[in-house]
Chains A and B, each alone.
Chain A
Amino acid sequence: MKNILEVKHLNKTYSIGKLESQHVLKDINLEIKEGEFVSVMGPSGSGKSTLLYNISGMDKFSSGSVVFAEKDISTMSEEALSKLRLNTMGFIFQQSNLLKNLNVFDNIILSAYLAKSESRKKINKRAIELMRKTGIAEISNHDITQASGGQLQRVSICRALINNPDIIFGDEPTGALNTKATNEVMEILADINQSGTTIMLVTHDVKVAAKTERILFMLDGQIVSDKYLGKYEKGENDIKIREERLLMWLSRMGF
């Protein structure tokens, strides 16, 4: 498998006032292979989200390099980074972060209409298909204020998938959901991953991380451990075993 993401000596420093600064990411080195399902864990303030935003080109890092799909993003212009995000990346946030003046369907198709990589007819067709798969076909014309939290998160998953991205980044995508909705969303993500899309998500939830293939543990701006759990098969009976293995590993980390 080829690497989709190569991170070398990545550092991120925030300046606080004129004299002080905060070193949030410290010399991160990381490789993620195509089709991997990776989760990032760690205590609050350990730099998980910062890592996600820096390697996806949404934030500018202080030093080091990030090569995404063989392209060095550190040298890219803001315009080129936007294009890269539009065509090759999908994002799912803790809050669904949908545009409030668009209805469900328009939120999903928006970035595809902007990218113009396909005809609008084809885009609409694929959106309907994605909504059917994620079980939200019936709310297609609803206003986003009329949908539940779980439904909204599925809308944002559809939105992330509409441009057939190479990778999906998730920042606590199930953080605001109940157990049932969390399980449903994770099943959908597992499906997506099985069809070949790389997924990298930040989570606090052991149950969520247990369904991913590889877990990175961050502490104080560094990746202190990298655990390979193996592919999770949908409907797998040994999910409890995976969770226990993970918990043991985490307790060794002091989490």
Chain B
Amino acid sequence: MRGKVNNMIGRMLKKDLLRNRIITLTLSAFIMLSSLLIASAVGIMVDLFVSMDKLFQKSNAPHFVQMHSGEIDQRLIDKFSFDNELVKEQQTVEMINIDGSNIFLNESQRAENESVMDISFVKQNPSFDFLLNLENQVIKVSQGEIGVPIYYMQQNDLNIGDKIWVANGNFKKEFMIKAFVRDVQMNPSIVSSKRFVINDQDWNIVKANIGESEYLIEFLLTDLDKITEFESMYQSADLPQKGPKITYSLFKTLNALSEGIVALVIVLISLLLIAIAILCIRFTMMTTMEEDYREIGVMKGIGIQSKDIQKLYLTKYIVIAAVASIGGFVLSIFVGHIFTANIALYMGTAEKTVLHYFVPLIGTMVVFIAVLFYCQLVLRKFRRITAIEALRAGSSLDNRQSWRVFKLQKSKFPNVNVFLGIKDVFERFKVYGLVCFVFILSTFIIIVPVNFLNTVESPGFITYMGAGKSDIRIDLQQSMDVGQRFTDMQYYIENDSTVEKYSALVTSTIKILNSEGTYENINVEIGDFTVFPLEYLKGSAPKHKNDIALSYMKANELEKNVGDVLVLIVNGQKQELTICGIYQDISNGGKTAKALLPYDSKNILWYVVNLDVKTGVDVNEKIEEYKKVFYPAKVTDMDEYLSQTLGTTINQLKVVTVSSIVIAISIAVLITGMFFTMLIAKDAIQITIMKSLGFSNRDIQVQYITRSLLVLLIGIVFGTFIAGTLGQELVSLLGSFMGASNIKFVVNSLVSYILCPLLLIIAVTITTLINSMEIKKRGDFKIKAE
């Protein structure tokens, strides 16, 4: 008996696979793709960790780094290091900051003045924090040679042997690219500083001619677990700290972040594909079982156990899932390097270990097991079918009863086909659930990035950067005579009759008492915040001398709220300030403050002047004027400032948006195609009956297009609603990691509510139309008759 059953299973399996060729192929494709993606994503992670470990080891990464701009006293640092038993080794790296307008890459005559990166020239480090070449060896450069960060190799398409120049006035120096630099500290593109390595003699020449120095005060510690402790010690000591501090764990996070996000996104897409595959399986299984209802009855009638019948159906899906999962895994071995190419470039090629194959295989197996588990769930229905019931009813697993809301007799619809389409969607909504879900998802995937992009591109986005809206913004960076220039600038603007109003803001480093009871530095913007008001999440702008407003992230970090008291050291004196407001700020790491304090001119980081011109004054002309007068200050209007500051983000976001649209439309088209192929197969008898009554192919096509458009419309309405609510929350949640926790979408109605839905409607209608051609093939009356 068992042998016969197995034999029968084999025959039925073959028949079934052939019968549903398209469905089998699509299903396999889904499972294979999700298995490929999971395996690749897991592969990326393994590769990332292995490669990163190797890079950190080879470059001997520092454990704590304090950046500092301004003078330093190395003796004090040496004393601190000598006295502190946590310090294993210390080195101070002097970096010459080169302005983008002074460097020319790739033989182009165009300077890098639009570059968002801070460029600096360094010597190779003597004892740790080595700058490595692409073979992970310590770079050694002779005179006239240079090591260029990988970032520029990618951006400017550079090759070994290419020439680059630095120039400033009469000074010009040429370098030949000897190597590309893997820099454990500044590798990732999200880190906005990049180090070039040159020979010691060259370095001295450049230093004498261009730029100013900035220092990296680096430490290797004896105990990695005590970094936080060391950090407090350093901050409490009177040591240079005009700049951000970075720890070992932050280096790791920064290095892992970009690739980690890629892996995460791939995992999410893969989960989505599995969800879709599973829903498709449910649908196919139900359809097949419905078609085979009588056979199931007969099999039960002749005494084959439910278990064996289940096996029969399960075998098919085991075969599909196994072949597809393994296919995906094998494919991932061949195409995996596409995903890990960036890791290989930035961190070096990790040697393939057993882990590289084993962990992705586990990922693949998870996909396989998830699919099988779901099949088992669906197959439980078998137990409920009795032989007699199956033989008598001869159809229908979905025990639809007389739930008939739409009656033709009572309908006022002039078109019978449109009526039938609508009726079917509402009365069999369970069947359409899957496509409806996919349409909601597709709409969501399209609308959220579109709305977010529009929000980032709108001038109002400045409010998320902790600044009010103004016509012109002038940025003055740290330099020797910056204080004087700032005073001159204020005087000039004060006496400019075309200026409506202005506010001068100074950002200074001030010490505050943190929640752990130690002092830490914070960038505080000082000035009049009422001239260009900012929207506050809670409370309002500082108006009194003892008011302070905190950025969202800083307030969170300090665990403070409006009304709480904050202790600061101002001019060497302890001072208590009350938190008057919390605002959103994604600039400067998102941790800033605003107050009306007196400032120490030695501790100033930068100056900003915002101003509005009087009506009738041409803003662009004013900008040109100020650019000349205040050179080298950066003078921009709000749009330009935003596009300069967020330019790369906006460009990346554009790519993300376009990809989202393409992915969403592809998913919608694929699922619509699959769904209607299955639905038409399932409805074959009904179609035949309608044709016999005199319904033409076109009549029936209208019914199916009505169905797909109605479901799509429901999907679009819900999708758009969820995008506006949940999507906005999601973006705010992501934004809160950067400092903006309450992002409100600025919606371009034409694009979001008309063009995007239209795109989906066109894609889905065409797909349904193509699918409904299948109707022509249905209607073999002969088969039904005899």
Contact = CB atoms under 8 A, between A and B. Distances in A.
Nearest to B697: A78
Interface residues of A, number: 45
A82 B407 contact: no
Interface stretch (B178-186, B221-229, B742-750, B778-786): B778-786
A53 B782 contact: yes
Interface in B661-718: 685-686, 689-699
A15 to B, nearest CB: 14
A58 B781 contact: yes
A111 B690 CA distance: 9
Interface string A195-227: 000000000000000000000000000000000
Interface string A3-47: 000000000000000000000000000000000000000001100
B692 A97 contact: yes
A151 interface: no
A197 to B, nearest CB: 16
A198 B416 CA distance: 28
Given A58-B692, A94-B785, A97-B689, A103 B779 contact: no
B693 A85 contact: yes
A78 B646 CA distance: 60
A83 B692 contact: no
Contacts of B400: 100-101
A105 interface: yes
Interface in A73-102: 78-79, 82-87, 89, 91, 93-95, 97-102
A53 B409 contact: no
Interface in B399-437: 400-402, 404, 407-409, 416-417, 423-424, 427-428
Q: Which of B409, B417, B694 has the most CB of A within 10 A?
A: B694
A50 B780 CA distance: 11
B407 A106 contact: yes
Given A59-B781, A82-B695, A114-B416, A101 B407 contact: no
Contacts of A111: 693-695
A159 B693 CA distance: 9
A106 B409 contact: yes
B409 A124 contact: yes
Given A83-B694, A113-B416, A143 B404 contact: yes
B402 A59 contact: no
Nearest to A142: B402
Contact of B786 (A44, A83, A85, A146): A44
A115 interface: yes
A85 B416 contact: no
A103 B695 contact: no
Nearest to B786: A49
A108 to B, nearest CB: 9
Contacts of B417: 114
B interface, size bucket: 20 to 34
A102 B782 contact: no
A82 B696 contact: yes
Contact of B694 (A45, A115, A146, A171): A115
B752 to A, nearest CB: 36
Given A53-B782, A109-B409, A58 B691 contact: yes
Q: Which of A87, A114, A142, A159 has the most CB of B within 10 A?
A: A114
Contact of B428 (A82, A83, A101): A101
B784 A143 contact: no
B419 to A, nearest CB: 8
Contact of B696 (A45, A83, A101, A109): A83
Contacts of A52: 785
Nearest to A169: B692
B696 to A, nearest CB: 4
A110 B408 contact: yes
A78 B701 CA distance: 14
Interface in B156-193: none
A106 B782 CA distance: 26
A121 to B, nearest CB: 11
Contacts of B782: 49-50, 53, 59
A145 interface: yes
Interface in B722-760: none
Contact of B408 (A85, A106, A163): A106
A114 B781 contact: no
B422 to A, nearest CB: 12
Contacts of B428: 101
A188 B401 CA distance: 30
Contacts of A103: 402, 404, 407
A49 B784 CA distance: 10
A130 to B, nearest CB: 14
B141 to A, nearest CB: 74
A53 B781 CA distance: 7
A195 B781 CA distance: 29
Contacts of B690: 99
Nearest to A58: B781
A180 to B, nearest CB: 20
A86 B781 CA distance: 16
B707 to A, nearest CB: 12
A102 B408 contact: yes
A114 B785 contact: no
Contacts of A82: 691, 694-697, 699
Interface in B757-786: 776, 779, 781-782, 784-786
Nearest to A140: B409
Nearest to A120: B409
Contacts of B698: 79
A86 B785 contact: no
Contacts of A98: 689
Interface of B: 396, 400-402, 404, 407-409, 416-417, 423-424, 427-428, 685-686, 689-699, 776, 779, 781-782, 784-786
10 contacts: A44-B786, A52-B785, A58-B692, A79-B696, A84-B694, A85-B692, A89-B694, A97-B689, A99-B689, A103-B407
Given A82-B697, A101-B404, A124-B409, 8 more contacts: A82-B691, A82-B694, A84-B694, A97-B692, A100-B396, A102-B404, A102-B408, A145-B402
Sorted from nearest, which 4 A-B pairs have the closest CB atoms? A86-B694, A82-B696, A143-B402, A106-B408
